[in-house]
Structures are given as structure tokens and as C-alpha cells.
């Protein structure tokens, strides 16, 4: 560790988001405003941990919103293997405000598989399950 | 004219929906043991629920975010999960107590054993949640719950000595009671008035009914007028018990003792009305608590929720409510006394209060959510005072429960 002061944060155009404050644990809505999940964690590209960072390395970017078992490990510690992560790619994100809005339909996403399973196997089979209350 | 009707309807449902099994039982127990010396707690509780119900409704109307989404965002997953576990378990206890309350009220009306009514009540709750529109559900149970006003009518018909009754209003520990049991029941009353499910339900209901910022004025009137009148209903239950049960030395252990003063003061007709009111009030609260358990789970995990959607479009939400009702039936089937479950649930509510109310207060001050509708200074000051009261009640609850042997 050197004691030299860190370089200033480069000036960036647009809005500055704090991942912890504006992304983590926010509700994710799909294209039609239907809740999909909550942002349980974020996947960030970039150099691996404990590797010396070479000069001129591009800054890491968010590649995906994560959900699923990662919530459990975030609360109780540990890390699920990469293959077990459920990803919503960052390119699907349309807007970040009070909620995170996607630009795609939530229905076919991997993040919705439990919802689909419960719907098809249980709820839709009970009489009136597809009845519109309004 | 239509607007005026809407306001009147909102106020009436707020009054009728205010009282639930927790209020019924705790107020009667307190009245029969401590007279009116704990009425001040009901007053503090009602002001608190007005403050925070209004705040959570405003957050939901302006930002479209219901309370538990806000709790997860602000407390993070760990503290959020701790809060979810506590709130959910207490809520489950309250669901159990309310369904037991419906069954007990039906037993009073029909003399059919309550365990036979219990599955009927649970299925009825599920059918309403599955099929009936949110606004109809709210209005019907709220309006029928208004018949609980028979408690107030009975109080007048009992012709009590108003002077001595008013003399009891000062906070004082009665001679035959200890200061510990007095404090314990103060916390129970406070918890009964401020149960967390009410803000979960109120804020989620605002989303269900699609409130926008322009509806805020009406919701404020509903709460500001309806809740205090509902609080008066609670106090009249305690006053009835004070007039009839306290001098006779009857301590309340069942719902039949709660309605005894009404039968004495207002006769059969009063009894009939009060039974309708009790069934409606407990049934309405059973709906609200069952929905609240679905709301809290769905909002924490980000599932699709709401009665305004088809059940198939909020599958996990509906499944979790079905499971909760089944658990409630299971607990009641063990033969546990629903009145006892109620007494415990209101005290545990008091314990979980700070975790629920702090995030609401924080978000109600966040301009990203609230734009120009952030809290004013007076509301914030009052909110801080209440946080302190809530914290004290929450910390004192368990030690007092142990010291007093749960108030016995």
C-alpha cells in the first residue's frame, strides 16, 4: 500500500448512482410494471480479487442484477457458485429510479421461474385462479 | 355529492375496521381489572396509529412503494430479514387469533362449538381473498363492524355514575394490582392499538386502490376522523367492563364475558347487534392480517402481489396466504385458547414496533420518494417522540411479561 493520495474521481456526465443506496435491495419491475424480484446482489466485471491492477485497466462495470440463492449467502455469508446465480443482464435495465425498471417482459426471465412454477402447478389449477378481480 | 359520500364511506369503514380481536379482548380485560385508569394509553396509541398510518399511506400514494419494500431497501437484507421474521410470526399469531375470534363470536351466536366454526371461518376468509374485490371487502366488513357501537349504547343504557367514571380517568394503579401488571397491560393496550399489520395493510391497500398524491386529502380525513372514533369504540368496551365486570369481580377470560355488559345494558337486541359487529370486526381483521402476511413476504422478496391482479399473476403471494391460513387452522386445532393467543400477540406486537416504524419515518423524509410531500417539522417531531415511546415499550415488554407471569 502506498500512502500517495488516491487520484480524483474522474468527472462523469449524467447521474451518479451509489450501488448500495440506489440499486441494492430495490424492487425490480418489468416493462409492464409487474414486480419481478428485488435486486439481491450485483455482478461486476473487472479484475479478480487479490490481483495487482495494471495501469490503464478500464473501470469495472455492472454486468447483471443477481437474484435467487445469492440473497441467502448475502445474509448468512458465503458465495454461491457462479452457475447458481440467476442473472438479469444490465442491458435489460431501462430506468433506475425509486425502482429499477426493465425494458423487457418479466414473464420469460430466469428470475421468474419459481413464480411460473407455482402459478402453473398450483394457483392456476384452483377454480377462479385466472379470474380478473376487476 | 359523490365525493362527500366517498369521504363518509371512508370514515365509517375506518371506524368499523379499527377494532379487532386484540382491541376487544385487551380493552375488556383492562376494564375489568384496572377500570378506566389505562384510557390514556389508548389515547396515546390512537394518536400514534394516526401518525404512522397516515405517513405510510402518504409514502405509498406518492411513491407507489408499500411499507415492506421500504423496510428492505432501508434496513438492508439482514435487519430486513430479522424484521420480516418477527413481523411475520406475530402476524401469523394474529391471523390465528382473529380466525379463532370469528369462530368464538359465531359460537356465541349459535351455540355451536367454536372448533367446528373455525374451518368454516378460515375457508370464508380464503374465498373472500381469492374472489372479492378489495374495495367491497373493505367497505362491507367496515360498515358491519360499526354495529360494535352497541358497546357505547349499552354504556349509556347502563346509566353509570358518570362523575365517578370520569374520576377514574387519571392514571393510577388500583389497590389490588401491582405497578408491574399495570405497566404490562399498558404495553398490551399500546400494542393492540398500534399493531404493525395495520401499517402494512394500510400502505399496501393504498397501492391496491391505486391512490395518487391527489387522494391524500381524503385518506387524511378518513384517518383523522375515523381512527379517533374507532378509539372511542375501544374505550367504550373498557368502560362497559368497568361498570359491570369490575364491581362484580369478574375477570375476562372469554369472549362471552366481553359481551356480558352489553347483554345487561341493552338486552337481547343489543347483544344481537354486538355479535354481528364482533363477527364482522374479527372477520375483517382476519382478512387484513392474512393479506398482510402475503404483503410482507411478497414485498420483502420482490414478488408480484396484490388483490387487483388475477391470482395467477400473483401466484406466490396467494400461495403464501393459503399456507398461512392452513397454519392458523393447525394451531387452533390443537385446542389452544384463541383469547390467550390474542393476549400474547398484542404484547409481541409491541416488541416488533420499532423495526417497522423507523424505516417509514426515514423514507417519509426522502425527497427521491416523496418529492414535495416530505414530512413537515411538526410531524417529524411527533414521529421522534413516538419512536422513543415505542422503543421503551418494546424493550420493557419481555421483562414485564416475565415479572408479571404474562399479567396474571
d(CA A25, CA A7): 30
When scoring B300, B310, B364, B374 by the number of chain A Cβ atoms within 10 A, the one with the most, hence best to mutate, is B310
**What pLDDT does B4 receive?**
78
C-alpha to C-alpha distance for A26 and B300, rounded to whole angstroms: 10
Q: CB–CB of A37 and B303 under 8 A?
A: yes
Confidence of residue A19 (pLDDT cuts 50, 70, 90): confident
pTM for the structure as a whole: 0.92
Residue B126: pLDDT over 60: yes
Sign of CA dihedral B347, B364, B208, B136: positive
Q: What is the pLDDT of residue A3?
A: 66
Residue ranges of domains in chain B? 2-404
| Residues constituting chain A | 134
Question: Which has more pLDDT, A11 or B71?
Answer: B71
Q: Which residues, 6+ apart, have CB-to-CB distance to B153 below 8 Å?
A: B265, B266, B270
The model's confidence at residue B93, banded by pLDDT at 50, 70 and 90, is very high
Which residues are A42's β-sheet partners? A65
Q: Is B127 on the interface with A (CB under 8 A)?
A: no
Mean pLDDT of all residues in B133-147: 89
Question: CA of B327: how far to CAs of B89, B290, B314, B321, in Å?
Answer: 11, 11, 20, 10
DSSP string of B33-64, one letter each residue? HHTTTTHHHHHHHHHHHHHHHHHHHHHHHHH-
At B306-354, the pLDDT tens digits run 999 999 999 999 999 999 999 999 999 999 999 889 888 888 888 888 8
Question: Distance (Å) from the C-alpha of residue B356 to the closest C-alpha of chain A?
Answer: 17
In angstroms, what is the C-alpha Rg of chain B?
Answer: 20
Read off the pLDDT of residues A50-84 as tens digits, 9 standing for 90 and up: 778 888 888 888 999 999 889 999 999 888 888 88
- Name the CATH superfamily, with its identifier, for domain A19-45+59-125: PRC-barrel domain (2.30.30.240)
Count of positions (residues) in chain B: 408
> How does B342-367 read in b/e, with b if 16+ C-beta sit within 10 Å?
bbebbbbbbbbbbbbbbbbbbbbebe
pLDDT of the residue at B177: 85
What's the confidence (pLDDT) of residue B1?
67
What is the Cα–Cα distance from B64 to B58, expressed in whole angstroms?
Answer: 9
Contact (CB, 8 A) for B314 and B298: yes
Average pLDDT, chain B: 91
Contact B310, A130 (CB under 8 A): yes
Query: Any idea which fold B2-404 has?
Result: Amino acid/polyamine transporter I (1.20.1740)
Q: Which pLDDT does position B240 carry in this prediction?
A: 94
Angle (nearest 5°) at CA B27 between B22 and B32: 135
d(CA B394, CA B349): 9
In Å, how far is A29's CA from the nearest CA of chain B? 9
C-alpha cell read off for B382: 411527533
Is pLDDT at A99 greater than 80 in this prediction?
yes
- What pLDDT shows up at residue A2? 55
- B72–chain A Cβ distance below 8 A for any pair: yes
CA distance A11 to chain B (A): 23
Nearest to B350 by CA among B196, B228, B234, B201: B196
- CA-angle at B14, arms to B11 and B15, nearest 5°: 90
Residue A54: phi and psi, rounded to 5, are: -70, 150
Facing residue for B302 by CB, picked from A38, A75, A132: A38
**Residue indicated by cell numbers 375457508:** B123
Instruction: Cell numbers for B236, please give them.
Output: 367504550
- pLDDT single digits (tens) B384-397: 999 999 999 999 99
**Closest to B393 measured CA to CA, from B201, B199, B234, B185:** B185
Cβ atoms within 10 Å of B162's Cβ, excluding its own: 10
Residue in chain B lying closest to A38 (CA): B302
Of all residues in chain B, the one with the smallest CA distance to A27 is: B302
Angle at the Cα of B321 (from B315 to B326), degrees rounded to 5?
125
- What is the C-alpha to C-alpha distance for residues B134 and B154, in angstroms, rounded to an integer? 32
Q: How far apart are CA B171 and CA B194, in angstroms?
A: 20
Closest residue, chain B, to A106 (C-alpha) = B304
B191 within 8 A of B276, measured Cβ to Cβ: no
Interface confidence: ipTM more than 0.85: yes
What mean pLDDT, rounded, does chain A reach? 88
Q: Is the pLDDT of residue B145 over 80?
A: yes
Grid cell digits, residue B238: 373498557
What value does the mean pLDDT take over residues B112-117? 94
Q: Report whether pLDDT(A15) > 90.
A: no
The radius of gyration of chain A from alpha carbons, rounded to an integer in Å, stands at: 19
Amino acid at each position: 500500500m502506498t500512502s500517495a493520495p488516491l487520484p480524483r474521481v474522474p468527472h462523469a456526465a449524467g447521474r451518479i448512482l451509489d450501488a448500495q443506496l440506489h440499486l441494492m435491495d430495490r424492487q425490480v419491475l418489468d416493462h409492464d410494471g409487474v414486480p419481478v424480484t428485488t435486486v439481491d446482489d450485483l455482478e461486476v466485471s473487472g479484475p479478480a480479487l487479490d490481483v495487482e491492477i495494471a495501469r490503464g485497466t478500464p473501470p469495472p462495470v455492472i454486468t447483471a442484477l443477481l437474484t435467487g440463492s445469492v440473497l441467502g449467502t448475502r445474509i448468512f455469508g458465503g458465495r454461491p457458485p457462479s452457475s447458481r446465480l440467476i442473472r438479469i443482464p444490465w442491458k435489460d435495465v431501462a430506468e433506475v429510479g425509486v425502482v429499477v425498471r426493465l425494458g423487457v417482459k418479466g414473464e420469460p426471465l430466469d428470475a421468474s421461474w419459481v413464480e411460473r412454477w407455482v402459478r402453473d402447478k398450483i394457483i392456476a389449477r384452483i377454480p377462479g385462479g385466472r379470474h380478473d378481480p376487476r | 355529492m359523490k365525493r362527500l359520500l366517498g369521504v363518509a364511506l371512508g370514515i365509517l369503514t375506518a371506524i368499523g375496521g379499527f377494532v379487532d380481536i386484540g382491541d376487544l379482548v385487551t380493552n375488556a380485560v383492562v376494564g375489568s381489572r384496572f377500570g378506566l385508569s389505562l384510557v390514556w394509553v389508548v389515547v396515546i396509541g390512537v394518536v400514534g396509529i394516526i401518525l404512522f398510518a397516515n405517513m405510510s399511506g402518504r409514502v405509498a400514494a406518492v411513491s407507489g412503494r408499500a411499507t415492506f419494500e421500504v423496510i428492505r431497501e432501508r434496513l438492508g437484507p439482514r435487519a430486513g430479514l430479522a424484521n420480516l421474521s418477527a413481523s411475520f410470526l406475530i402476524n401469523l399469531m394474529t391471523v390465528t387469533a382473529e380466525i379463532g375470534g370469528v369462530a368464538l363470536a359465531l359460537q356465541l351466536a349459535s351455540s355451536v362449538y367454536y372448533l367446528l366454526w373455525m374451518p368454516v371461518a378460515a375457508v370464508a376468509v380464503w374465498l373472500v381473498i381469492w374472489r372479492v374485490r378489495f374495495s367491497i371487502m373493505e367497505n362491507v366488513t367496515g360498515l358491519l363492524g360499526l354495529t360494535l357501537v352497541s358497546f357505547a349504547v349499552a354504556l349509556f343504557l347502563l346509566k353509570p355514575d358518570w362523575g365517578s367514571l370520569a374520576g377514574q380517568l387519571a392514571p393510577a394503579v388500583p389497590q389490588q394490582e401491582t405497578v408491574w401488571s399495570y405497566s404490562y397491560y399498558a404495553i398490551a393496550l399500546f400494542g393492540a392499538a398500534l399493531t404493525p399489520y395495520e401499517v402494512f395493510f394500510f400502505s399496501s391497500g393504498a397501492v391496491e386502490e391505486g391512490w395518487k398524491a391527489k387522494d391524500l386529502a381524503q385518506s387524511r380525513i378518513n384517518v383523522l376522523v375515523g381512527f379517533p372514533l374507532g378509539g372511542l369504540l375501544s374505550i367504550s368496551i373498557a368502560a362497559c367492563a368497568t361498570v359491570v365486570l369490575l364491581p362484580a369481580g369478574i375477570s375476562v377470560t372469554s369472549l362471552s364475558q366481553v359481551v356480558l355488559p352489553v347483554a345487561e345494558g341493552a338486552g337481547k337486541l343489543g347483544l344481537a347487534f354486538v355479535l354481528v359487529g364482533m363477527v364482522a370486526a374479527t372477520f375483517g381483521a382476519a382478512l387484513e392480517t392474512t393479506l398482510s402476511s402475503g404483503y410482507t413476504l411478497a414485498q420483502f422478496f420482490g414478488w408480484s402481489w396484490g388483490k387487483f391482479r388475477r391470482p395467477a399473476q400473483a401466484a406466490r403471494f396467494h400461495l403464501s396466504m393459503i399456507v398461512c391460513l392452513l397454519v392458523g387452522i393447525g394451531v387452533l386445532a390443537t385446542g389452544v385458547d384463541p383469547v390467550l393467543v390474542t393476549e400474547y400477540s398484542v404484547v409481541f406486537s409491541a416488541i416488533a414496533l420499532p423495526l417497522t416504524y423507523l424505516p417509514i419515518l426515514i423514507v417519509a423524509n426522502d425527497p427521491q420518494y416523496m418529492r414535495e410531500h416530505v414530512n413537515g417539522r411538526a410531524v417529524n417531531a411527533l414521529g421522534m417522540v413516538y419512536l422513543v415511546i415505542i422503543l421503551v415499550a418494546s424493550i420493557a415488554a419481555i421483562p414485564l411479561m416475565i415479572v408479571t407471569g404474562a399479567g396474571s
